[in-house]
Structure 1
Amino acid sequence: MIRNIKIALFLAFFSLSLHSAHAQHKSWMLGPFEREVNQKPIIEPREDTDFEDPMTGNNVFWESMATFNPAAILKDGKIHVLYRAEEKLGENEIGGHTSRLGLATSEDGKSYQRETEPIFYPAEDNQKEFEWTGGTEDPRIVETADGKYVLTYTQWNREYPRLAIATSADLRNWEKHGPVFQSWKDGKYHNIETKSGAIVTEVKGGKLVAAKINDKYWMYYGVPHIWLASSEDLIHWEPIENHEGNLAPVLSPRPGYFDSWLVEAGPPPVLTDRGIVVMYNAGNSNEIGVKDLGNRVYTGGQALFDAKEPWKLLDRTDQPFIKPEKDFEKSGQYVDGTTFLEGLVLFEGVWYLYYGTADSMVGVVKWIQD
């Protein structure tokens, strides 16, 4: 009798656990994303690659300190991962290095071949005043319907971090278009922190391309709130303001949840038949957030916005769908731990989600869509 009661209790608990796990994954979400068995980082710092820095003329080991926060795109049947890299300076201070973007490619989603020199970096060009000496940081990238590539990234001159746009036809030769809000209303938002631009995409021809809604492109951006901007050409952007002429956040931190400290746009959102799915990076504050998650830990959430009114929030997750679990996600420059989402591709029927780990390496998780 006692044995039967124990079995019944176990089955009830097991059933409840399955129900809870299922309830955490809402029907509109992307995923669930799975880790590889014995998962390891796919990109790590290396000390044998150098190049001549055009700003100083010095030979620098440009990715010897950290390789993290990756964008991802398909080109020529391969996955291309653009990752942020920093060189060693004899110190571990976050923000004290120059950031440049490196490139790794994969034909199978398993092994990655890396370029020996960065493909995007500060140079003696018309963006020098915004990019030197901090560099070019935290990319996101989308492809246009005609096969061009649009890069959003952060320019860091150690005065203001500014969201900027660059375009390319081959991922190696770039035209920098400068800060996205430099000219908007006489520079109203030019000298404030802007970063993390995620342009809405949709699946076409088996891959993600920039999507138009109401004849415009849309971009979620910003931290500690997420704001919204629109564009007719993917280069010139207008932030969405309310009737008072102020920025209106479309997603904000929530006391009591995993995103109690901050929210920050992740990889390019995806327009689906349920709405716009926005993956976002979430920071936790122990004081007002989730006690056992850890202070300042970065996890990942998802939010659903209306397909015709991109500012209208329909739903969001109450728990992170990804969080630091592996050693390489909880050790590095950012010891509190991060799974910082920035890259998403659909490759041969499999979704690959790329993220930075502890401001030091690059990881990936996968979802095989039914």
Structure 2
Amino acid sequence: MSTSDRPPGAFVPPPVDYPFGPFVPRPENPVLRPGRHDWESSCVYNPAALSVDGRIALVYRAHADDIVSHLGLAWSDDGIAFETEPDPVMVPTEDYERFGCEDPRVVLVDGTYYLTYTGWDRHTARLCLATSTDLRRWEKHGPMFPGINTFAGVRETPGPEWSKGGVILPEPIDGQYLMWFGEGNIHLAVSDDLLHWKADPTPVLRPEPGTFMGDLVETGPQPVRTRTGHVLVMHNSAVVRPDGGVYYACGQVLLDPRRPNTVVAKLTEPWLEPSSYEDQHGLVDNVTFVEGLVFHRGTWFAYYGQSDTTIGVATFTPVES
């Protein structure tokens, strides 16, 4: 794709190499803790990250003791010290999300922010879409994939549908936008207009028993292009332990944009996994769950939820060649 093919206003980070990293957790972690406002008094985690006018913006999940998630907005000049806005930017308003708007991912295309999030009614998880021009006022477009169950063949879900984690490549390929989504398995979807999506029922990535991807895979932050023209998708993976607990670590897969449902390469070991106290203790222990990725002042920042309670960041500064 040439530069002229890119949609005006889209954030296009510099190309990366595969494997991507190494990313190192920052000693300042957590970079965001709960308790600043009543609606986020218990937990803040799983943020999307963007570069906006020279600053880093986090759209993050937060809740009080009731575990009804809202989405908040935080800002930083250096990627480490954040100021949060006092009010949430998205709250549950619809029946399908009455117990939470969860786990946002955001991309900017042609002046519009496209946010995917999980609508949760304590029975079914539904991947939903919203749009905005300022990150504060969102128009909700509803569930994206009625009838799709991305846990099919992995384990049973309470209802016949289940979907999460939509990550959109902001650059169209041959006139179509690509999105990978799913928890359990990861699937591909395509769109002409970023609002209406068609999902492929065959998974792109499945769990692999006996590995760190043993019991489920789920998308991470927005995809990025590599120097070779491939698409890098970072993902979250879980293993269920014998005691019933979970262990979440983060991986990477490489895809060919002309065959976006085909994995070309994948890491056999995680690039990020629980290591600190906050990673190992919280609402759900032993979780590093990456959802935010941004390039800022020559460094890549990967933001992740720490045990569903706080937000950490790992950084990687490429060496110029």
Tell me the TM-score normalised to structure 1 length: 0.76
Match of 1:284, SS state, is strand
**Partner of residue 34, structure 2:** 45
User: What code does the residue aligned with 2:192 have?
Assistant: E
User: What code does the residue aligned with 1:268 have?
Assistant: Q
**Partner of residue 252, structure 1:** 206
Q: 1:167-211: per-residue Cα shift (whole Å, max 9, x none)?
A: 1000011111111124xxxx56695001111112xxxxxxxxx11
Answering whether residue 176 of structure 2 is matched by residue 216 of structure 1, we say yes
Match of 2:96, SS state, is helix
Match of 1:62, SS state, is helix
**Partner of residue 367, structure 1:** 316
Equivalent-residue separation in structure 2 for 1:281 and 1:104 (angstroms): 23
Equivalent-residue separation in structure 2 for 1:273 and 1:213 (angstroms): 16
Query: How many matched pairs?
Result: 293
Return structure 1 stretches of 4+ with deviation > 6 angstroms: none
Does structure 1 conserve the Cα–Cα contact (< 8 Å) formed by 2:303 and 2:314?
yes
> Which of 6, 25, 32 is the matching residue for 2:22?
32
> Rg: which structure is higher?
1
**Partner of residue 23, structure 1:** none
Equivalent-residue separation in structure 1 for 2:206 and 2:221 (angstroms): 17
Give the deviation of 1:254 after TM superposition: 0.9
**Partner of residue 109, structure 1:** 79
Equivalent-residue separation in structure 2 for 1:191 and 1:283 (angstroms): 22
**Partner of residue 301, structure 1:** 251
Match of 1:329, SS state, is helix
**Partner of residue 333, structure 1:** 283
Does structure 1 conserve the Cα–Cα contact (< 8 Å) formed by 2:104 and 2:117?
yes
Does structure 2 conserve the Cα–Cα contact (< 8 Å) formed by 1:223 and 1:265?
yes
The structure whose residues are more often strand, as a share, is 2
Match of 2:208, SS state, is coil
Give the deviation of 1:214 after TM superposition: 2.1
Does structure 2 conserve the Cα–Cα contact (< 8 Å) formed by 1:122 and 1:131?
yes
Give the deviation of 1:303 after TM superposition: 0.5
**Partner of residue 165, structure 2:** 196
Give the deviation of 1:269 after TM superposition: 1.1
Equivalent-residue separation in structure 1 for 2:317 and 2:130 (angstroms): 31
Q: 1:137-168: per-residue Cα shift (whole Å, max 9, x none)?
A: 00001011x22110000011223110011010
> Which of 261, 270, 273 is the matching residue for 1:320?
270
Does structure 1 conserve the Cα–Cα contact (< 8 Å) formed by 2:62 and 2:70?
yes
State the identity as a percent. Answer: 40
Equivalent-residue separation in structure 2 for 1:324 and 1:110 (angstroms): 19
**Partner of residue 76, structure 1:** 53
Equivalent-residue separation in structure 1 for 2:24 and 2:73 (angstroms): 24
The structure whose residues are more often helix, as a share, is 1
**Partner of residue 124, structure 2:** 160
Does structure 2 conserve the Cα–Cα contact (< 8 Å) formed by 1:163 and 1:195?
yes
Equivalent-residue separation in structure 2 for 1:156 and 1:101 (angstroms): 13
What are the ranges of 5 or more consecutive residues in structure 2 without an aligned counterpart? 1-15, 150-158
User: What code does the residue aligned with 2:234 have?
Assistant: M
**Partner of residue 232, structure 2:** 277
**Partner of residue 101, structure 2:** 136
Tell me the TM-score normalised to structure 2 length: 0.87
RMSD: 1.8
Does structure 1 conserve the Cα–Cα contact (< 8 Å) formed by 2:28 and 2:80?
no
User: What code does the residue aligned with 2:96 have?
Assistant: F
Give the deviation of 1:295 after TM superposition: 5.4
Match of 1:298, SS state, is strand
